């Protein structure tokens, strides 16, 4: 169920039937909004013990490289600490153009092979949800 107290740049919900947190950006976000949006999602994920997220970037676009680095290096540590022992998967839903940019960026910044939080980029929501459930 969506939270009506969220800022205008974020739609956040949890579907218990899928055990997935949906984080949908509604517009481009500042660096502070980017980080606050993920941390708001983390509160919901912790409450529901949900390690699977579908993050819709289609209305927002991509984060700048500094914010992507923060996500990969700091936020994933926070996510792991908040959900110990729970498989964590982040599926990014983007436009095809942004997918072609994001995939190599993830490879460039994601240097920790021991990280147990998996990330994938998708251009179709159904494929993202299938990966979250079965991948």
The enclosing domain of 35 has a CATH number of 3.30.750.24
In a domain, residue 101? The reply is yes
Q: Which of 100, 37, 103 is nearest to 70 (CA)?
A: 37
Tell me if 64 is assigned to some domain.
yes
51: Cβ contacts below 8 Å, ≥ 6 apart = 45, 79, 83, 86, 87, 88, 89
Q: What is the pLDDT of residue 90?
A: 95
For residue 66, tell me if it sits in a domain. Answer: yes
Percent pLDDT > 90 in the chain is 73
Total domains in the chain come to 1
What single-letter DSSP state applies at residue 101? Answer: H
Residue 3, domain member (yes or no): no
Stretch 36-48: mean pLDDT: 96
Provide the residue range defining the domain that includes 19: 10-134
Within a domain: residue 90? yes
pTM of the model: 0.90
Whether residue 19 is predicted with pLDDT greater than 90 in this model: the reply is yes
Domain for residue 1, yes or no? no
User: Which one has a higher pLDDT value, 115 or 71?
Assistant: 71
Any domain includes 116: yes
Whether the per-residue pLDDT at 78 is higher than 90: the answer is yes
């Amino acid at each position: 169920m969506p939270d009506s107290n969220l800022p205008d740049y974020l739609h956040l919900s949890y579907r218990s039937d899928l055990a997935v947190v949906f984080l949908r950006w509604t517009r481009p976000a500042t660096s502070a909004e980017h980080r606050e949006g993920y941390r708001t999602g983390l509160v919901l994920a912790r409450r529901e013990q949900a390690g699977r997220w579908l993050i819709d970037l289609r209305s927002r676009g991509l984060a700048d490289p500094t914010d992507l680095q923060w996500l990969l290096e700091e936020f994933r540590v926070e996510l792991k600490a908040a959900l110990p022992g729970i498989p964590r998967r982040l599926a990014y839903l983007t436009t095809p153009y942004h997918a072609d940019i994001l995939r190599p960026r993830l490879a460039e910044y994601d240097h920790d092979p021991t990280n147990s939080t998996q990330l994938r980029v998708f251009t179709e929501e159904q494929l993202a949800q299938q990966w979250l459930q079965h991948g």
